[in-house]
Amino acid sequence: MMIPKRSATGDILMNTNKSLTVLTDIPTEEMQKVLTFIDNANLVIAEYFGVRTSFDIVICHGSWEMEIQVISRRREPPLQYDDTKSVAITDYHLKEIIIRYDVAKFGHYLHELIHGIISKNHSQQLREGLAWYFTLKLTERCRYVRPSYPSWIDNLYIYPVKKLAQIIGDDFLKDFMLGKGVLQEDALPPDVQELFLPEEFYYAKKRYNN
């Protein structure tokens, strides 16, 4: 799937997210880029999933501003596994997406806006796996827009979700991600079942095994 082209006269659609907060002074053309990324990511998601996120978006600049955002939201140990957190994070409690615009690629916007439509009832590791799986799927033909990710992201999140997708298919996985449809977990392979464990068990187990 490609990034939809914007019409030459097209206005920037910001009516889908509740609000956009900019914590820093941004040059106009940089702001234009930010809005285009958000707009396009929303379009890609709406086209593929049929919904858009209603999460607020916060735009910041530099590692220090991002660090403050991460620290002020730190609640649970799993956050340390969020590799992209230095660039972008999604806060499910406050329904906010925070993006560091000076380093974020289109794929970071896409990844977090996908997080914004994933059912809150899923475990953190399952949400991360689903967000990564669909980020990669939707950027298959334009890989350069992808966030870079280390191999543990592959092992921990992407591989088991890929396996799940092979069993239930992408269409059902999409519905399941949005919170529609129920999965019979005990019929799934053990490593896929782990995605459904309570977060503290899951991460304790992973720490123990590594």
Residue ranges binding Zn ion (CB under 5 A) = 131
Structural contact between residues 17 and 98, judged by C-beta atoms closer than 8 angstroms: no
The single-letter code of the amino acid at 184 is Q
Hey, which residues does 22 pair with through a beta bridge?
59
Rounded least distance, CB 27 to Zn ion, Å: 28
Task: Map tokens 């956009």 to a residue.
Answer: 20
**Min separation Cβ 9 and Zn ion, Å:** 34
Give 116's DSSP letter. T
Q: How far is the CB of 105 from Zn ion (least distance, A)?
A: 14
Nearer to Zn ion, 157 or 176 (CB): 157
Q: Which is nearer to Zn ion, 32 or 54 (CB)?
A: 54
Q: How far is the CB of 202 from Zn ion (least distance, A)?
A: 15
Report residue 91 CA to chain centroid gap.
11
The answer to whether residues 42 and 52 touch, using CB atoms and an 8 Å cutoff, is: yes
**Of 131 and 145, which CB lies nearer to Zn ion in the complex structure?**
131
Nearer to Zn ion, 25 or 203 (CB): 203
What values do phi and psi take at 100, rounded to 5?
-90, 105
Helix (H, G, I), strand (E, B) or coil at 132: helix
